[in-house]
Chains A and B, each alone.
Chain A
């Protein structure tokens, strides 16, 4: 689904952000990118969404040779990628519903499809009752859930999340991770850059650790580097996250789940058909 071959990214001639990275992520995987600030996590995400071009090396994303893709073909590639950021990037003048619908409007989805899909995906993130609110009327966690809904509403093959819980307190992160996990279970490949030890340790998914632009660890069912936790005296080990605990709102998500999965199977087939063209 994503493949990086010998990728190097140098900024301004001398700042090396990514150095000789080889990485392969299969369809349906959930991958954490971990590492200190400036280790190259965000650059890697930006390279995968073709917001940046590598200085050397090749990148394939969703069956396309992203690093060699003509710029006019980039929009098409982006339609198979959903993106979530630390700062949410919601439009303040649009309601929750409109923010999510916007992602479909701009790619030319028919009005009836929008009317059908937006409520479903809002249900998935547990915000059906707040569809008419504006972002400023929501908590940080809720805003991020809107952003995830927007990233997922077009049913992308890949979801790239750059520090999605970076601005949130640990309690708020739980529902976010539950939603990302659920999205992953529909077959969507999820790549998430994060600092959050607790989340990585609780999820037990593949962990790719970066240090000064190089991959220093690639471990399936890994944890956040324990050595780093020990170096930060203030950080108390947090109680492990109970991702499968039933919390208010879970039922709502479950209710929407069957239809989401069913539809996803069809949509993923569609997109794969496109790839072969």
Chain B
């Protein structure tokens, strides 16, 4: 028990000793993980809003309700054989209903209508063109096909949304990785300083036969704490910003659905915290591995 309280006490002592450097490291973790988490949230928003356009679907052909399963299968096979078409997926009424619940999760009126008549949305064929920008011909051919009720193609808005997402993803991830590396290095530096400040104590501990884990654990805890604090700030910031935007919903165009399930935020937030802890452990391990005083 003495050992446990000693280790915890030392971990916190070190945090206080180099406050500025520690704050720098926490800031780097915070920015890096904010970008990562922000990116994940944006990706989720785009996914929710473009759920029916996933997997590079650019054209949707809604089918007449009286189509038999057999003629549906024939129709799907025919469309798939067209040279402009890469792939065709069938989406049943049930699937369409589930999709609509996600898509309109921010729109109570539509949700009420769906609740009353779950089979409102027709089944559809989702068409993935060979060339994502060339789908006009597919639209024209589908409109002339019997059994097809209505044809919709991805508008410019959807294309733009997907383009922005893909662009942001790359920039965010690059920044997040670069800052993540910086964060690990900065944590390693704070641990390095903590080891240096305690080098006499460590020397004596080693001479007295303190076990390796006893010497190292306070530093590992310190690194993990720095990572955890940075990650917690990042989660708080992103969730806060998201809440703020949802609160200001009136000013956001109503065709964008910003609602994200709490489950998703919780799950991803927990992952971000775990990531912060891992970054902290990586930083302190790096420092411990490099530091000469700790070698026996």
Question: What is A's interface to B at a CB cutoff of 8 Å?
Answer: 49-50, 71-72, 74-81, 83, 89, 91, 102-103, 105-111, 114, 150, 154
Contact = CB atoms under 8 A, between A and B. Distances in A.
A89 B209 contact: no
Contacts of A154: 208-209
Interface stretch (B44-52, B170-178, B196-204): B196-204
Contacts of B208: 78-79, 102-103, 106-107, 150, 154
Nearest to A81: B209
B241 interface: no
9 contacts: A77-B209, A78-B207, A89-B203, A89-B204, A102-B201, A106-B208, A106-B209, A111-B2, A154-B209
B209 A108 contact: no
Nearest to A79: B209
Contacts of A91: 200-201, 204
B264 to A, nearest CB: 44
Nearest to B201: A91
B3 A105 contact: yes
A106 B296 contact: no
Contacts of B210: 75, 106-107
B200 A106 contact: no
Q: Which of B3, B208, B210, B296 has the most CB of A within 10 A?
A: B208
The 5 closest A-B pairs by CB, nearest first: A78-B209, A79-B209, A106-B210, A74-B296, A71-B296
B112 to A, nearest CB: 66
Contact of A75 (B2, B200, B209): B209
Contacts of B211: 75-76, 107-108
A49 B296 CA distance: 11
Contacts of A108: 2-3, 211, 214
Given A75-B212, A111-B1, 7 more contacts: A74-B209, A75-B211, A80-B209, A105-B2, A105-B3, A106-B208, A108-B3
B6 interface: yes
B210 to A, nearest CB: 4
A105 B212 CA distance: 14
A105 B2 CA distance: 7
Contacts of A111: 1-2
A185 B266 CA distance: 66
Contacts of B2: 105, 108-111, 114
Contacts of A81: 209
Interface string B8-23: 0000000000000000
Contacts of A79: 208-209
